[in-house]
Chains A and B, each alone.
Chain A
């Protein structure tokens, strides 16, 4: 309704100019520098850098762990969103606000504490390690800490959708003779699927880039527990800038692709509205 003409409100050229300037200096030029550096490598050099056995193991672990963590978060997130939007119980507000903690807590702190919780002498490790579950310095540890880091995403995308769901649809299903489980499968699940997928994609994207927490818990052993960002840092420390850049470009392109997918998914989510 409030259509705004650029000449009516003041400050358009000033604000746009500053926005574009700051965006260029801080974001666009650095990204350009990255691609420029990668372009200075020959094709063979590039392939040699990004397709070593060690790099392949790192990609596989990065995407595998991020995927596994996002997948686990799909269920944990749905559970939490369901409980928080449907039931009332003592301490619900408190739990609700704790969901966002992984976003507010520095990842280094998360890494530190997860590393110490699951070692043999740790609070949880003392019970788990005798069972053969190694929650620190293993691939499982990476998944675990990524589950923590990605926890808020699915909850926060699904929760509002569940809250806005028209109760009449469920009532109608019930009055037509559906059981509660059938109602969930046929009525509720289809309407929250887009939000679930968006939340999954966000958690997955976050998991791919995560570094701070993983570096503490993984042990960083090449071929075994080394994720791609750690490999980039390792190459940098060897002053192999070209190789580091090449791997970074691969990671960046995949992240951008994820961004596009998330945007498409969001559009798909909105397709029923109007």
Chain B
């Protein structure tokens, strides 16, 4: 392809001029390359090398002792590995739903919705953390209630989740086709509210009656794991959606339309066509989301309350060790996160190779129109 383009370029410009036009003199090239290498060297390579050298300064033994010997550090690793997957799953489900809505349908408010998805990127992480403190913190809007009798919301929350699951299952599992949707299946707008109310009552009442949840105890969200999950999910909110929207738009809707016209139900279409087509874009978004979630500092800092061994995630643990002048310990934790960053970069490059090869190239090939 590229060879053809070069060959077809009109030869109005003499070859020598063309070559000179594209090429800078040797001294300039060398200078600029050296300068670029220096920038990357000082800003990126030296710091990364420094992390590992500092972490291993006192030998491998101390390094592992720093990582696994300190119970607070161990807890920080575990906490990060609890908080991040939850935020990741939530944002992935959201990302798929948002991308499906925005890339496949035209509706009023679509541009606004797209803009709102990017909103968390322009909120300073510290401000993000503050928002959740204002809602769930002791002086926050829900604070007094949560402190007095926080667990009272749990039955309702669980019943609500059950209703959402029931409604989604109904919509996904109802039979396909005109004939099959006679009777109850066809009267969605009667059945759905009835189903919702029933499920809500069935899930809620036993909990209230049996008093499953403790009474008059405070439910901690801020300075506890739920707050960390909320803050992390907020900060990494746009990643998956942002990656999937262009992927889906580039793929086009034709394959999905083909599946529907061949008789597939919504779920079959999603499982057989949509997911296989977007899987690399999805992986790309999840990897970026993961890197950011693992490393998030500002938002998590505000909602955590820095309780060692309880609400310190890995980045927060680094800061604490740093404040305690335990530099080898701080660098040991930092080296794990740096390794994660490097793995992320490698995975990203691998995926970048795949995303266009499945999506773009295939389309370009089929779009060729010899005249």
Q: From DSSP, what is the main secondary structure of chain B's interface residues? A: helix
List, in ascending order, chain B residues with CB within 8 A of A99's CB: 40, 44
Decide if B105 touches A95 in the complex (CB within 8 Å).
Answer: no
Which A residues touch B145, using CB under 8 A? none
B265 within 8 A of A: yes
> Which A195-209 residues have C-beta < 8 A from chain B?
205, 208-209
Q: Is A114 in contact with chain B by the CB < 8 A criterion?
A: yes
> Chain A: which residue is nearest B349 at the CB level?
A97
Q: Is B337 an interface residue (CB 8 A)?
A: yes
Task: Name which of B63-71, B92-100, B206-214 contacts chain A.
Answer: B92-100
Residue of A nearest to B14 (CB): A175
Contact A33–B135 (Cβ < 8 Å): yes
Q: Are B256 and A9 in contact (CB under 8 A)?
A: yes
Q: How many angstroms from the CA of A79 to the CA of B24 in the assembled complex?
A: 14
A31 within 8 Å of B by Cβ?
yes
A125–B294 alpha-carbon span in the complex (Å): 29
CB neighbours (8 Å) of A110 from chain B are: 47
**From B137, which residue of chain A is reached at the shortest CB distance?**
A241
Q: Which residues of B contact A258 (CB under 8 A)?
A: 122
Q: Are A245 and B334 in contact (CB under 8 A)?
A: no
Please name the residue on chain B nearest to A7 by beta carbon.
Answer: B105
**How far in angstroms is the closest Cβ of chain A from B65?**
19
* A248: min CB distance to chain B, Å: 4
Chain B residues, Cβ within 8 Å of A41: none
Q: What's the Cα separation between A121 and B122 when bound, in Å? A: 37
Q: Given A22-B94, A23-B116, A255-B122, does the pair A107, B105 have CB atoms closer than 8 Å?
A: no
Given contacts A9-B256, A106-B294, contact A113 B131 (CB under 8 A): no
The yes or no answer to A105 lying at the interface (CB within 8 A) is: yes
Contact with B along A100-131 (1 / 0, CB 8 A): 11111111111011111100000110000000
> Which of chain B's residues 42-74 have a Cβ closer than 8 Å to chain A?
42-48, 50-51, 54
Contact B126 A232 (CB under 8 A): yes
Q: For the complex, is A168 an interface residue (Cβ under 8 Å from B)?
A: yes
CB pair B101–A16 under 8 Å, yes or no, is yes
The answer to whether residues A105 and B338 also contact, given A34-B127, A170-B22, A173-B21 and a CB cut-off of 8 A, is yes
Cross-chain contact of B36 among A79, A103, A114 (Cβ < 8 A): A79
- Contact bitstring B119-147, A, C-beta under 8 A = 1, else 0: 11011111110111111010111000000
Q: Does A70 contact B (CB under 8 A)?
A: no
Question: Which single residue of chain B is at the shortest CB-CB distance from A257?
Answer: B122
A26-B237, A183-B21 known; A212 vs B297 contact (CB < 8 Å): yes
Besides A10-B260, A15-B101, 18 other A-B contacts (C-beta < 8 A): A27-B234, A28-B116, A30-B128, A30-B135, A87-B29, A100-B345, A101-B44, A102-B44, A104-B345, A105-B48, A105-B295, A106-B341, A109-B295, A172-B13, A209-B298, A211-B126, A229-B125, A258-B122
User: Could you show 26 A-B contacts with beta carbons less than 8 Å apart?
Assistant: A4-B253, A12-B107, A23-B94, A26-B233, A27-B119, A30-B128, A30-B132, A31-B123, A33-B135, A104-B291, A107-B297, A108-B318, A108-B334, A109-B51, A110-B47, A112-B318, A112-B322, A116-B50, A167-B21, A211-B124, A211-B297, A212-B295, A215-B319, A216-B322, A251-B124, A255-B122
Query: Which residues of A come within 8 Å of B, CB atoms?
Result: 2-4, 6, 8-12, 14-16, 18-20, 22-23, 26-31, 33-34, 36-37, 76, 79-80, 82-84, 86-87, 89, 95, 97-110, 112-117, 123-124, 147-148, 151, 167-168, 170-175, 180, 183, 205, 208-212, 215-216, 229, 232-233, 236, 239, 241, 244-245, 248, 251-252, 255-256, 258-259, 263
